[in-house]
Structure 1
Amino acid sequence: MRIRRATAATLVGLLLLALVSASAATLTLQNPAAVASPTEAGQVSTIPGWRIASTASAAQGGELISSPGYDDRRWTSVPARSTVLGGLISAGKYPDLGYSTNLADKVDKQDFTVPWWYREEFTADKTPGTRTTLRLTSGVIPSAEVWVNGTRVAGQDTVAGAYPAHDFDVTDLLRAGTNAVAIKVFPADPDKQLVISFLDWSKPAPDNDMGVWRDVRLVRTGSVALSGARVLTDLAVPALDSADLTVKAEVSNLTGAPVDTEVSGSVGPMTFSKQVRLKAHETATVAFDPLHLADPKVWWPYQMGDQPLYHLDLTAKVGGASSDRASTDFGIREVQSSLNSAGFRQFTVNGKPFLVRGAGWASDLFLRYDPQRLTDQLSHAKDLGLNTIRLEGKGENDELFQFADRAGLMVLSGWECCTHWQNNDADKWSPQDHAVARASAETEGMRLRNHPSMLGFYIGSDQSPPPVIEKEYLDGLAKSDWQLPVMPSISSYGGELTGPSGHKGLGPYWWVPPNYWYGDQKGGAFGFEGENGPGPAIPDLESLKKMLSPAELDSLWQNPDAVQFHLSSSEHFDRLGPYLDALGARYGKPTGLEDFVLKSQLANYEANRAQFEAYGRNQSKAVNPSGGVIYWMLNNAWPTLYWHLFDYEMAPSGSYFGAKTALKQLHVQYSYDDRSIALVNKGLDEAPNLTVQATVFALDGTVLSDQNLTDLRARADGTTKIGAVPTPEGLSTTYFVRLLLHDADGNPVDRNVYWLSTKPDTYDTADSKRWWDSPQTGYADLTGLQQLGPAQVGATAASTVQDGTVHTTTTLTNSGGTVAFFLRATVTRGEGGPEIAPSTWSDDYVTLWPGESITLTADYRQAQLGATTPTVRLTGVNLPAQYVPAPIK
């Protein structure tokens, strides 16, 4: 059975489309390219696309608009999952809304102050004994009327909220031949409705994301339907040598008479069945006796083990004939969380401590669905070495969780902050709001609970909900048989029913220097932090030119107090002032746009590396260890200058590679507070017989200290301090520390270079009103980097292709007499051509001393090359740009 949408392909072999109920009837949609042949057991059809129109132009009522044959030829065709504005963008109705101020200048918000219609036609035959359900897999933003063949099926009193799913039996409304469905979507207001908003993450979507944002399906069954197939897993921890599986599902009688049904199923070779008697129109939960599984294949986060999945199949039969089927994939693993002695949250997976190294996920601003982009962004998350992504609202489509299941990425989900969701006065919610809240939790719980990638759910964000609403969320999750941790908020606010949050509280969100993360103030690397980061993350020049006009590019680096359109709408995050002050004081005032961009990569690299390294180092502390951190953020909803590890073009730059360095599986690192050297091991096995060479260099390359630490052991899933970097005499104001890690055979395992100053960064943590940062009061002096002599670097490159992926290998050798600092390699489409993005690199922004060599590798899709020859562009702080052909062999 296949989802009926021409563009809903599997995500590069990693995504498995969710299969839902099916039956033995013919049901096809009008678009022939999207129609799959009926299967023997039945069919589920996803509406492959819509035609939309504003009620300002389509002023007729739903009775006429939802009638077959209504003339909608002048309406706009949009994809299946489309907010109104997202659909109009897909149809080419607007220019590039990511460039300059187009989002404000080219879109009239008044267009979205009236309802809009979504409409599609389909064909069906009337097979006796079958039923057809119109299924909204999620809510409509913000609310809707639903019409089929001239009849109003549901109104705003029923279809409300972004998340609650709805099933409508439309069997009696269908006719043989052509049928029509129409959905009238109303204007959205995030401050008054439980919908979706992007808060201070970017400029808001002018339509407030009103529309049909997830799939609408037509489900054909017999008299009995199945839904909510799920498996409750009970894994023996810590032995992991057995598991008990409890299979449950809802079974519904869609007729007006009692019915007997046999529900049977299988998990691998294990089979089971049960007889169920249902009253007229009754829905009951069927639960099977636990299945005992010896030696289960246990699912692990990717850095800890493999990701095996099991498959559940269920069938409901009436009178010996199949009436419906349901299936789901699931994994066997055990997730727990608790509070340590200091009151902070810590997670375990399969009985092993799990330090959350995560980042916040941003859906597309217009909630557009792009399978390739989704795959690319999640692939970047794993390439970075992150083990968790956090969703604050938005929920994302099923394909994200299917990818995470197969990739071994954990996911923290939950509701968003600062809008109607975070209303601490329950009396300000309408009765419908309370019903939507409970239904939202139940729908999301049912949708997510089988995914082994799920780590937990936040029922609040910046604040915990009041007890009445808290109970509604908990009741909804309980209805879904939710087995995972539920947290009241990502801040220090606890819940009356869920208890303490175990989180530290908010911030920082704006620029702080690298040594900040090693302090004991609010943002220090101890306890559990649900979101924080150093704020501005300036993309490389090529990406900047795609989002900013020439005048905006000039203002970017010259006007610290200028409000930047591609920063936040919040007054705290709408200008670069403190960041530009620090950049100029630490590295020297930028002399032009390119110099500003280069110095920004230096600042972003060192700040992001330090944040993840500090949490990694402190995970094994005896007192108040770190339990996890969510970097704010992973990606952007729209092109912005802040809060990301890779920019909207998915081009990795300083932020990306600083974090990637810190997140290596086996890593040697320097500590900004006590100059200690630490080995951080993310695997479950101890790593013995290691050697670390720690070298201190003056700015001119003179070796001031060199030590070899031998016979080292990196403890499993933890941190081992192995010594300290000395402070030798003769240090230049700016100097380097290089750490090299080798295994027992002398093979390089890790390489880490720091640029440091004898003058420390200082900051003020006393101003409690500035929750978003800690103002810097003194600056490290790294201006000596501007005095490095010219570097000489030899480079060779070549490429190979396998299964549509190009693998480019580049070898760099410092053939001169000075350090070659912060070398950046990118693959371009021919000499001088644009950068190929996305691409994944083994490493980048590397530093080489005279005589040193390093080999870097990059992978990217062959289709991105077009007819050009891959070329490596090489730059550095003290190396002019040079191009190296990398022909495909």
Structure 2
Amino acid sequence: MTAGRARALLCSLWACALVLALGGAAAAASGRVPPKPITRISAGSGSATALAGYRIQSSAKVSDSGAAISTPGYAGASGWYAAGPRSTVLAALLANGKYGDPFYSTALKSIPASDFTVPWWYRADFTLGSEADLHTFLDFSGVISSADVWVNGTRVATAAQTAGAYPRYQPDITALVHPGTNSVAFSVNPNDPDKNLTTGWIDWVQSPPDHNMGLFRDVFVRRSGSVALRNAHVTTKLAVPALDKADLTVKVDARNDSSATVKATVAGTAGPASFSQDVSLAAHETKTLTFTASIANPKVWWPYGMGGQPLYDLDLTATVEGTATDTAHERFGVRDVRSALNSDGARTYTINGRPLLIRGGGWSPDLFLRPDRTYLEDRIRYTRDLGLNTIRLEGHLEPDDFFDLADEYGILALPGWECCDKWQSLSGWSSADHTVAKASMAAEAARLRDHPSVISFLIGSDEAPTKQVEQEYVDALKAADWPNPIVPAASDASAPITGSSGMKMTGPYDWVPPNYWYTKKEGGAYGFNSETSAGPDVPTLDTLRRMMSSSELATLWQDPSAKQYHRSPSSTFGTLKIFDNALIGRYGKPTSLEDYVRKAQLAQYEAVRAQFEAYGRNFTDSSKPSTGVVYWMLNSGWTSLHWQLFDYYLDQGGSYYGAKEANRPLHAQYSYDDRSVAVVNSDHGAASDLTVKADVYNLDGTSKYTKTATVSVPGDGGRTTALTLPSSISGLSTTYLVRLTVAGKDGREIDRNVYWLSTKKDVIDWSKNDWYYVPTSSYADLSGLSGMTAAPVSATVSSTAAGDGTTTTTVTLKNTGTGKIPAFYVDAHVVDASGDPVLPVRWSDNAVSLWPGESTTLTATYRTSDLHGSTAGVRVSGWNVATRTTMTTGP
């Protein structure tokens, strides 16, 4: 429920106005656009409003007490920094312009960490109406790392009571508040993820100097009459495989906050079902009410690509003597998720009775946890565009906006606790740590259980929890009516209660050749790999120039052994040496920054494509099938040189387009292990009478081999081997191209997939395998690509603005050559009048190859406002195609 709807609801119930406002203008802490209103108040009442923002200041500069700071009319905060409603300390300081761009070069180093070794004050005013007999609670989670909390001069919670990023706290402040202006103050303590059950960054990025101390979730003031409704939720049982009936169980806690016995009626609806129940509650008594109902022919929720994403509403109202005292609202979806271990011990998932190959990516929030719903939605849209169906969250359990959007867009979520800090240092836990962990699990279970996108919780990451901690987690999940599988770890681990994880965490995390993924050992395509990739993902030249100085860029392409600040603080992942050595060994030594970047895009495209294609091909294998793969990572929280399918600014390069190609619903792919050409069908229905064609070319465009086959392919991840390329083709150049196409009955091309291969193979030295990669003792020879003859490509561009605030730019590319030379790896970027890329953008296709006489039409959709009033253009470049920008006469 939005904050606005909650206010309107209370006004209708009690003819009152509940308005909460920050004393003074509060800047949004994102530095982008203000966050949109909250769309859900989880596990609670509709009669709540979030604080609009804060004034913050270091305790080193404030001598006043919490009692004074939380007193209405406190004048000492006039010079404090404005902070948004969900803001870490450093996020607020950045929004106030205290520091420059922390993502450029090594600027993050210049922010003094010593500023964040003392508590920081967060202060806000809120206004209450004059209505009588209302009970008022402060309702919050998301404190990093803990805080003493004060309301109107009285401390209502101590740091010991509010420890941890995830537990939910609801102190009763009824006796402290009054009509008019009220004040709240948080004294937020510094964070150390090795000592606190909060959040950390492990080896992903350079950690922020404040370690994300602050309030990264909304703080609500929640009001209700004598009977309050809390903890409302729905569990669903869908008839599978018929999908023709859903049984609902609705539960809600009815709490009497008054000092007298009351009789209340709790009534509501869950989708089309309605129900009502009378309840007698003694003074301060809480009872859990249960309602059951059924829906015939329910609207079933599916992951994107498998069906629609319909959602139902649960709405409840408590009334006493005909007067409404509280409401509760939740959204839920009807779907059936099941998980089991196959005969190989690998974890499998089905949804609504259909088999599901998990194709996912590892999630990273913004480095400073800045809320920006638009930016969040952009990244989830990119996830769909990539053909992925799942996001794994290792810790960093995002606020409700993330899961709301995942529900709406059909992206599955695998949340869980993180590794390598306090969460996994179980032997050193105190009794207080156990309390925080249990409270964290209980709060997250209640918050996430109604989201149809959430299909498991991983109670461990690199290790399973101890027996005691596992029991505490499982008890908390069961108490919350957790409806989904509980997985003990993201690694190959077992636990007494939850059993075997069925997952592997074998790496790699650094560069390996494409043929690696086709071996059924280590990280190869079998079982469920919870985090894996070929490591480095060098962004586009546009992004590199935004994030690195000229001297850093020179070092980037000239010195493989150089420490790269934008890679990782880890000594294991501090350089690009493994990647760069392979780039030089396979493509030839870069001759410039531009040459380095274009070779990197090719290397990343082929590596990412091979990873997803191998797992897609092996999904239906009879021996050691693949069941899931999570690319490490989907995105980065800052300007990074590794572990991302798209960069922080949402630009797209080889990694993005390699994944997008591999995950097309109906797709022809080359197998690096046996040279077969398989067609994989991720759609539900079978595909018949497909024409599959394989063409092999020398780099001068000479055709060396052609073969065509007609095939049918079963659905739900089925595959058919269409043909196999010969092991030897006469006259083949050392580096050569393979073009695969799939056409339907009408001859229309459905899929095109172009490979660059070598008669000299990558040789993996398995005897030296390490946890993060395996060495390559001999590289494939792709250096011939550098000598390809230039190909002429024309571009025709037009743009059309839509009424929804978006513009679609259409570009028709044609290889106008009269010979045989293909235009290889042609990339298009929408740019504004200054030549800067327009981002985010969703292309129908990109990074295409065209043979002489061939043409293709690509479309790009983006927000019109991102043109900043200028004319759109398309910058076209290619491996052997000169760069040229064509402007349009559109908006």
TM-score by length of 2: 0.95
Instruction: Measure how far apart 1:114 and its partner are.
Output: 0.3
Matched residue type, 1:343: G
Counterparts of 1:652 and 1:134, CA distance in 2: 43
How many residue pairs get aligned? The number is: 868
Match of 1:147 in 2: 150
Alpha-carbon shift at residue 87 of structure 1 (Å) = 1.3
| Aligned residue in 2 for 1:836 | 838
Distance 2:198 2:588 in 1: 46
The equivalent of 1:167 in structure 2 is 170
What's the counterpart of residue 346 of structure 1? 348
Q: Is the 8 A contact 1:691 1:712 kept in 2?
A: no
Distance in 1 (CA, whole Å) between partners of 2:444 and 2:719 is: 36
Q: CA deviation at 1:258?
A: 2.9
Offset of residue 270 of structure 1: 2.0
Who is 1:60 aligned against? 64
Q: Give the alignment of 1:26-41 within 5 angstroms.
A: 26-31=17-22
1:350-749 pair list within 5 angstroms: 350-425=352-427, 428-726=428-726, 727-749=728-750
Which letter does structure 2 place at the counterpart of 1:730?
G
2:796 pairs with 1:805: no
- Could you tell me how far apart the structure 1 residues matched to 2:304 and 2:8 are? 22
Q: How many Å separate the matches in 1 of 2:849 and 2:697?
A: 12
Distance 1:536 1:684 in 2: 34
- Give the C-alpha shift of residue 169 in structure 1: 1.4
Shift of 1:623: 1.0
Name the counterpart of 2:96: 91
Match of 2:868 among 863, 866, 870: 866
Alignment check: 8 A CA contact 2:355 2:716 kept: no
Alignment pair present for 1:244 and 2:244: no
1:318-329 aligned within 5 A = 318-329=320-331
1:11 maps to none
Corresponding residue of 1:124: 128
Provide the C-alpha distance between the structure 1 equivalents of 2:8 and 2:337, rounded to a whole number of angstroms.
Answer: 23
Please tell me whether the aligned partners of residues 682 and 715 of structure 2 are also in contact (alpha carbons under 8 angstroms).
no
* Contact 1:510–1:534 (Cα < 8 Å) also in 2: yes
Q: Is the 8 A contact 2:676 2:724 kept in 1?
A: yes
Partner of 1:853: 855
Q: Distance in 2 between matches of 1:269 and 1:335?
A: 22
SS of the aligned residue for 1:454 comes to: coil
Rounded to whole Å, the distance in 2 between the matches of 1:711 and 1:555 is 50
- How high is the sequence identity, in percent, across the aligned residues? 50
User: Post-superposition shift, 1:20?
Assistant: 11
Greater displacement, 276-285 / 234-243 = 276-285
From 113, 128, 139, give the equivalent of 2:117. Answer: 113
Q: What's the offset of the Cα at 1:867? A: 2.5
Provide the rounded CA distance (Å) in 2 between the counterparts of 1:448 and 1:716.
28
Aligned residue type for 1:111: D
Q: Which moved more, 1:702-711 or 1:389-398?
A: 702-711
Alpha-carbon displacement from aligned partner over 1:304-350 (angstroms, at most 9, x marks no partner): 11111111110111222111000111110000110000111010001
Counterpart for residue 275 of structure 2: 272
Deviations 1:825-853 (A, max 9, x none): 111112x5111111111111111111111
* Contact kept? 1:18, 1:398, Cα under 8 Å: no
Q: Answer with 18-27 or 465-474: which moved more.
A: 18-27
Over 3 Å counting, the alpha-carbon distance change for 1:265 and 1:367 in structure 2 is same
Question: Closer, same or farther in 2 for the Cα pair 1:571/1:64, shift >3 Å?
Answer: same
Distance 1:87 1:619 in 2: 46
Q: RMSD of the alignment, in Å?
A: 2.0
* CA-to-aligned-CA distance 1:95-121 (integer Å, 9 cap, x gap): 00000111012x110111000010011
Match of 2:318 among 307, 316, 319: 316
Relative to the length of structure 1, the TM-score reads 0.95
Secondary structure at the aligned position of 1:455 is classed as coil
Partner of 2:263: 260
- Note if contact 2:67-2:150 (Cα within 8 Å) is conserved in structure 1: yes
Distance 1:88 1:871, change over 3 A: same
| Worse-matched range after superposition: 411-420 or 265-274 | 265-274
* 1:73 and 2:78 matched: yes
Contact 1:263-1:315 at 8 Å conserved across structures: yes
CA, structure 1 residues 806+190, in 2 after alignment: closer, same or farther (shift >3 Å)?
same
Asked if structure 2 preserves the Cα contact closer than 8 Å seen for 1:300 and 1:306, the reply is yes
d(CA) in 1 for partners of 2:12, 2:148 = 26
Partners of 1:20 and 1:327 within 8 A in 2: no
- In 2, the alpha carbon distance for the partners of 1:209 and 1:139 equals 11
Q: Is the 8 A contact 2:646 2:656 kept in 1?
A: yes
CA contact 2:7–2:18 (8 Å) conserved in 1: no
Q: Determine if contact 2:21/2:51 at 8 Å carries over to the other structure.
A: no
Residue 793 in structure 1 maps to residue 793 in structure 2 = yes
Does the 8 Å CA contact 1:446/1:480 hold for their aligned counterparts? yes
- Report the CA distance between 1:273 and its aligned residue: 1.2
Alignment CA distance shift 1:104-1:713 (3 Å): same
* Paired position in structure 2 for 1:196: 199
Distance 2:83 2:467 in 1: 41
How far off is 1:522 after superposition? Answer: 0.6
Gapped regions of structure 2 (runs ≥ 5) = 27-35, 38-44
> SS of the residue aligned with 2:489?
coil
CA contact (8 A) 1:261 1:316 kept: yes
State the distance in 2 between where 1:764 and 1:356 align: 29
Identify if the C-alpha distance between structure 1 residues 468 and 22 changes in structure 2 by more than 3 Å, giving closer, same or farther: farther
1:632–1:643 Cα contact (<8 Å) kept: yes
1:134 Cα deviation after fit: 0.9
For residues 715 and 246 of structure 1, what CA distance do their matches in structure 2 show? 34
Of the three residues 857, 877, 880, the one matched with 1:878 is: 880
In the aligned structure 2, how far is the partner of 1:529 from the partner of 1:18?
48
Change (3 A) 1:490 1:23: farther
User: How far did residue 543 of structure 1 move?
Assistant: 0.2
Q: Among 289, 295, 319, which residue is 2:297 paired with?
A: 295
Contact preservation (8 Å) 2:510, 2:533: yes
- Judged with a 3 Å threshold, the aligned counterparts in structure 2 of structure 1 residues 18 and 309 are, in CA distance, closer, same or farther, namely farther
